[in-house]
């Protein structure tokens, strides 16, 4: 099978599942509008699709994906901010109850940042500038354990990137207002898709706790 036929066959299976076996699902979503409780910020990595990993149905999550699952700091400069625009829509229009940042193991964006930080080339016109947002995650990982290198440094930086994005979320006034009002909760998760493991950040213990 070549070209796009694999995707077209996938659409046929989707149509059978959601239009023939559950014909009212999308009509209800159209009639009543989307009303997801969760906004998920995840990486663009093709291996970590949140809808597959979390086994959700259409309409369950508002998915925001970019390189390295990053939330940038709040900036109101009239320029183009795709992730910030999606967050604004999720919080102000959709009134989601939870925002979940999902970082993951073996993240190419984090790897590119570390490579550049250590004097290598990040590559690309846009990737280097975007992943520069992760430099603080790298610095936090080394501050906690100066002896880290290799895979251990990568893993620590990936987890710190989740926490950095949580910190950046708190710089958005509409996010902070919703959290203060008790209408919104923020969560940091770390996924190792290759081991089938998920860790959830516990702010009380300040640790990522593996889920059973």
pTM summary value? 0.94
Which residue(s) pair with 189 in the sheet? 102, 200
User: What is the CATH architecture of 34-210?
Assistant: 3-Layer(aba) Sandwich (3.40)
pLDDT higher than 70, residue 122: no
- How confident is the model at residue 143, as a pLDDT? 97
CA–CA separation, 104 vs 44, rounded Å? 11
Least confident of 95-99, 114-118, 128-132, 200-204: 114-118
Please state, in angstroms and rounded to a whole number, the distance separating the CA atoms of residues 155 and 160. Answer: 9
For residues 20 and 165, is the Cβ–Cβ distance under 8 A?
Answer: no
Every domain of the chain and the residues it spans: 1-33, 34-210
Give the per-residue pLDDT at 1: 60
pLDDT at position 50 over 70 = yes
Q: In this structure, are residues 71 and 162 in contact, taking their beta carbons and an 8 Å threshold?
A: no
């Amino acid at each position: 099978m070549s070209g796009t036929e694999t995707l077209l066959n996938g659409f046929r299976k989707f149509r059978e599942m959601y239009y023939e076996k559950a014909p009212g699902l999308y009509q209800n979503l159209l009639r009543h509008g989307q009303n997801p409780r969760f906004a998920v910020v995840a990486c663009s990595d093709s291996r970590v699709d949140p809808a597959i990993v979390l086994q959700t149905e259409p309409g369950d999550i508002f998915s925001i994906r970019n390189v390295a699952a990053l939330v940038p700091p709040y900036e109101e400069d009239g320029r183009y901010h795709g992730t910030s625009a999606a967050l604004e829509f999720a919080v102000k229009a959709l009134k989601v109850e939870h925002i979940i940042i999902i970082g993951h193991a073996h993240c190419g964006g984090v790897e590119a940042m570390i490579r550049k930080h250590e004097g290598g080339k990040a590559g690309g016109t846009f990737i280097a500038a975007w992943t520069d947002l992760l430099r603080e995650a790298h610095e936090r990982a080394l501050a906690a354990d100066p002896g880290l290198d290799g895979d251990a440094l990568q893993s620590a930086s990936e987890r710190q990137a989740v926490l950095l994005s949580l910190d950046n979320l708190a710089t958005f006034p509409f996010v902070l207002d919703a959290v203060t009002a008790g209408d919104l909760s923020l969560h940091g998760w770390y996924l190792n898709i290759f081991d089938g493991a998920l860790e959830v950040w516990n702010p009380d213990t300040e640790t990522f706790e593996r889920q059973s």
